Homo-oligomer: A and B are copies of this chain.
Amino acid sequence: MSTPAGGTSTGRGRRPGGPDTRGAILSAARKSFAGKGFDRTTIRAVAADAGVDPALVHHYFGSKDDLFLSALEIPIDPREAIPSVFAVGLDGAGERLLRIFLSVWDDQQARLPLLALVRNALTTEAAASLLRSGMFRLIFEPIAELLGSDDARLRAQLVASQLSGLVITRYVLRLEPLASLPADDVVAWVAPNLQRYLTAELSR
Protein backbone atom coordinates (compact mmCIF):
# COMPACT_ATOMS: atom_id res chain seq x y z
CA MET A 1 0.00 0.00 0.00
CA SER A 2 2.71 2.47 0.95
CA THR A 3 5.87 3.22 -1.00
CA PRO A 4 9.23 4.12 0.48
CA ALA A 5 9.60 7.82 1.30
CA GLY A 6 10.43 9.67 -1.89
CA GLY A 7 9.50 6.70 -4.09
CA THR A 8 6.73 6.59 -6.64
CA SER A 9 4.21 3.87 -7.17
CA THR A 10 5.25 3.34 -10.79
CA GLY A 11 8.39 3.49 -12.88
CA ARG A 12 12.01 3.20 -11.83
CA GLY A 13 11.43 4.30 -8.25
CA ARG A 14 9.69 1.00 -7.54
CA ARG A 15 11.73 -1.87 -6.19
CA PRO A 16 12.15 -4.30 -9.08
CA GLY A 17 10.82 -7.82 -8.72
CA GLY A 18 14.13 -9.45 -9.65
CA PRO A 19 15.97 -12.36 -8.04
CA ASP A 20 17.20 -10.13 -5.21
CA THR A 21 13.64 -9.26 -4.27
CA ARG A 22 12.55 -12.88 -4.27
CA GLY A 23 15.58 -13.75 -2.17
CA ALA A 24 14.91 -10.92 0.25
CA ILE A 25 11.31 -12.07 0.68
CA LEU A 26 12.32 -15.70 1.22
CA SER A 27 14.99 -14.67 3.69
CA ALA A 28 12.52 -12.53 5.64
CA ALA A 29 9.96 -15.35 5.52
CA ARG A 30 12.42 -17.93 6.87
CA LYS A 31 13.44 -15.59 9.67
CA SER A 32 9.82 -14.96 10.63
CA PHE A 33 8.69 -18.60 10.41
CA ALA A 34 11.65 -19.75 12.52
CA GLY A 35 11.35 -16.95 15.05
CA LYS A 36 7.60 -16.52 15.40
CA GLY A 37 6.20 -19.83 14.21
CA PHE A 38 3.53 -20.20 11.56
CA ASP A 39 0.46 -18.56 13.11
CA ARG A 40 2.19 -15.33 14.06
CA THR A 41 3.92 -14.87 10.70
CA THR A 42 2.07 -12.44 8.42
CA ILE A 43 2.62 -11.62 4.76
CA ARG A 44 2.48 -7.96 5.73
CA ALA A 45 5.32 -8.24 8.27
CA VAL A 46 7.43 -10.36 5.92
CA ALA A 47 6.94 -7.75 3.19
CA ALA A 48 7.90 -4.95 5.55
CA ASP A 49 11.04 -6.79 6.62
CA ALA A 50 12.00 -7.39 2.99
CA GLY A 51 11.25 -3.76 2.10
CA VAL A 52 8.57 -4.58 -0.49
CA ASP A 53 4.86 -4.15 -0.93
CA PRO A 54 2.74 -7.04 0.43
CA ALA A 55 1.15 -7.33 -3.00
CA LEU A 56 4.55 -8.27 -4.40
CA VAL A 57 4.84 -11.14 -1.88
CA HIS A 58 1.42 -12.38 -2.99
CA HIS A 59 2.40 -11.92 -6.63
CA TYR A 60 5.56 -14.00 -6.30
CA PHE A 61 4.62 -16.56 -3.67
CA GLY A 62 0.82 -16.65 -3.44
CA SER A 63 -0.68 -17.46 -0.04
CA LYS A 64 1.06 -17.83 3.32
CA ASP A 65 0.97 -21.61 2.79
CA ASP A 66 2.72 -21.15 -0.58
CA LEU A 67 5.31 -18.89 1.01
CA PHE A 68 5.90 -21.45 3.77
CA LEU A 69 6.46 -24.26 1.27
CA SER A 70 8.74 -22.05 -0.82
CA ALA A 71 10.74 -21.11 2.28
CA LEU A 72 11.22 -24.82 3.04
CA GLU A 73 12.21 -25.53 -0.57
CA ILE A 74 10.14 -28.71 -0.59
CA PRO A 75 10.43 -30.16 -4.10
CA ILE A 76 6.81 -31.34 -4.17
CA ASP A 77 3.61 -29.63 -3.13
CA PRO A 78 1.84 -31.72 -0.48
CA ARG A 79 -1.47 -30.12 -1.46
CA GLU A 80 -1.19 -31.94 -4.79
CA ALA A 81 0.79 -34.98 -3.68
CA ILE A 82 -1.48 -36.04 -0.81
CA PRO A 83 -4.72 -36.11 -2.84
CA SER A 84 -2.89 -38.05 -5.57
CA VAL A 85 -2.02 -40.73 -3.00
CA PHE A 86 -5.70 -41.29 -2.22
CA ALA A 87 -7.17 -40.57 -5.65
CA VAL A 88 -6.93 -44.22 -6.71
CA GLY A 89 -8.36 -45.52 -3.45
CA LEU A 90 -7.13 -46.64 -0.03
CA ASP A 91 -5.50 -49.84 -1.29
CA GLY A 92 -1.75 -49.26 -1.31
CA ALA A 93 -2.11 -45.70 0.01
CA GLY A 94 0.38 -46.44 2.79
CA GLU A 95 3.03 -47.44 0.26
CA ARG A 96 2.34 -44.51 -2.08
CA LEU A 97 2.53 -42.07 0.82
CA LEU A 98 5.77 -43.59 2.09
CA ARG A 99 7.37 -43.48 -1.37
CA ILE A 100 6.65 -39.74 -1.65
CA PHE A 101 8.01 -39.22 1.88
CA LEU A 102 11.20 -41.12 1.01
CA SER A 103 11.65 -39.34 -2.33
CA VAL A 104 11.83 -36.04 -0.43
CA TRP A 105 13.81 -37.13 2.64
CA ASP A 106 16.28 -39.38 0.82
CA ASP A 107 17.17 -36.36 -1.36
CA GLN A 108 20.12 -34.79 0.47
CA GLN A 109 19.33 -31.31 -0.86
CA ALA A 110 15.63 -31.41 -0.09
CA ARG A 111 16.31 -32.80 3.37
CA LEU A 112 18.42 -29.94 4.73
CA PRO A 113 15.76 -27.24 5.28
CA LEU A 114 13.37 -29.89 6.62
CA LEU A 115 15.98 -31.11 9.11
CA ALA A 116 16.47 -27.54 10.28
CA LEU A 117 12.72 -27.20 10.74
CA VAL A 118 12.50 -30.41 12.76
CA ARG A 119 15.45 -29.52 14.95
CA ASN A 120 14.12 -26.05 15.70
CA ALA A 121 10.56 -27.23 16.12
CA LEU A 122 11.43 -29.62 18.92
CA THR A 123 13.51 -27.12 20.84
CA THR A 124 10.96 -24.47 21.76
CA GLU A 125 7.22 -24.55 22.26
CA ALA A 126 6.82 -21.50 20.00
CA ALA A 127 8.68 -23.17 17.16
CA ALA A 128 6.74 -26.40 17.61
CA SER A 129 3.76 -24.47 16.28
CA LEU A 130 5.63 -24.21 12.99
CA LEU A 131 5.56 -27.97 12.64
CA ARG A 132 1.96 -28.26 13.87
CA SER A 133 0.34 -25.32 12.06
CA GLY A 134 2.64 -25.44 9.05
CA MET A 135 3.93 -28.84 8.06
CA PHE A 136 1.52 -31.18 9.82
CA ARG A 137 -1.53 -29.16 8.84
CA LEU A 138 -0.52 -29.26 5.17
CA ILE A 139 0.16 -33.01 5.18
CA PHE A 140 -1.85 -34.82 7.81
CA GLU A 141 -5.07 -32.79 7.95
CA PRO A 142 -5.67 -33.45 4.23
CA ILE A 143 -5.08 -37.16 4.93
CA ALA A 144 -7.72 -37.03 7.67
CA GLU A 145 -10.14 -35.25 5.33
CA LEU A 146 -9.54 -37.76 2.56
CA LEU A 147 -10.10 -40.67 4.96
CA GLY A 148 -13.33 -39.07 6.15
CA SER A 149 -14.10 -41.52 8.96
CA ASP A 150 -14.86 -40.59 12.58
CA ASP A 151 -11.39 -41.60 13.71
CA ALA A 152 -9.67 -40.16 10.62
CA ARG A 153 -7.81 -37.49 12.56
CA LEU A 154 -6.35 -40.08 14.92
CA ARG A 155 -5.41 -42.38 12.02
CA ALA A 156 -3.60 -39.51 10.28
CA GLN A 157 -1.73 -38.71 13.50
CA LEU A 158 -0.66 -42.33 13.91
CA VAL A 159 0.70 -42.20 10.36
CA ALA A 160 2.44 -38.98 11.41
CA SER A 161 3.91 -40.76 14.43
CA GLN A 162 5.52 -43.46 12.27
CA LEU A 163 6.81 -41.02 9.66
CA SER A 164 8.20 -38.54 12.19
CA GLY A 165 9.89 -41.44 13.97
CA LEU A 166 11.54 -42.37 10.68
CA VAL A 167 12.76 -38.79 10.42
CA ILE A 168 14.35 -39.07 13.89
CA THR A 169 15.96 -42.50 13.51
CA ARG A 170 16.87 -42.56 9.79
CA TYR A 171 17.69 -38.91 9.12
CA VAL A 172 18.50 -37.13 12.40
CA LEU A 173 20.20 -39.81 14.51
CA ARG A 174 21.13 -41.86 11.40
CA LEU A 175 21.00 -45.20 13.16
CA GLU A 176 22.60 -47.97 11.10
CA PRO A 177 21.48 -50.14 9.35
CA LEU A 178 18.21 -48.19 9.10
CA ALA A 179 19.86 -45.01 7.81
CA SER A 180 21.39 -46.79 4.81
CA LEU A 181 18.52 -49.18 4.12
CA PRO A 182 17.41 -48.92 0.45
CA ALA A 183 14.08 -47.19 -0.03
CA ASP A 184 12.44 -50.40 -1.35
CA ASP A 185 13.36 -52.20 1.88
CA VAL A 186 12.04 -49.33 3.99
CA VAL A 187 8.78 -49.65 2.04
CA ALA A 188 8.64 -53.42 2.61
CA TRP A 189 9.06 -52.96 6.37
CA VAL A 190 7.11 -49.79 7.05
CA ALA A 191 4.36 -49.42 4.41
CA PRO A 192 2.16 -52.24 5.83
CA ASN A 193 2.25 -50.51 9.22
CA LEU A 194 1.16 -47.22 7.67
CA GLN A 195 -1.55 -49.06 5.75
CA ARG A 196 -2.81 -50.59 8.98
CA TYR A 197 -3.19 -47.13 10.54
CA LEU A 198 -5.08 -45.96 7.45
CA THR A 199 -7.49 -48.84 7.05
CA ALA A 200 -7.43 -51.44 9.86
CA GLU A 201 -10.53 -52.10 11.91
CA LEU A 202 -9.60 -52.48 15.57
CA SER A 203 -10.83 -55.75 17.03
CA ARG A 204 -11.83 -54.46 20.42
What residues of chain A have their CB less than 8 Å away from a CB belonging to chain B? 118-119, 121-123, 128, 131-132, 136, 153-154, 157-158, 160-166, 168-170, 172-173, 175, 177-178, 181, 188-190, 192-193, 196-197, 202, 204
Contacts and interface: CB of A to CB of B under 8 A. Distances in A.
A96 to B, nearest CB: 18
Contact of A204 (B162, B173, B188, B197): B188
B131 A173 contact: yes
A163 B162 contact: no
Contact of A192 (B118, B165, B196): B196
A177 B160 CA distance: 13
Contacts of A118: 122
A196 B193 contact: yes
Q: Tell me the dominant secondary structure on chain A's binding face.
A: helix
A172 B122 contact: yes
Contact of A158 (B131, B160, B178): B178
Nearest to A192: B196
B154 A161 contact: no
Given A119-B122, A123-B123, A193-B196, A169 B188 contact: no
9 nearest CB pairs, A to B: A165-B165, A161-B165, A157-B178, A193-B193, A161-B169, A164-B168, A164-B165, A122-B122, A157-B175
B123 A158 contact: no
Query: Which of A132, A154, A169, A172 is the most central at the interface, judged by chain B CB atoms within 10 Å of its CB?
Result: A169
A185 to B, nearest CB: 8
8 contacts: A119-B122, A122-B172, A154-B178, A160-B165, A188-B202, A188-B204, A189-B202, A193-B196
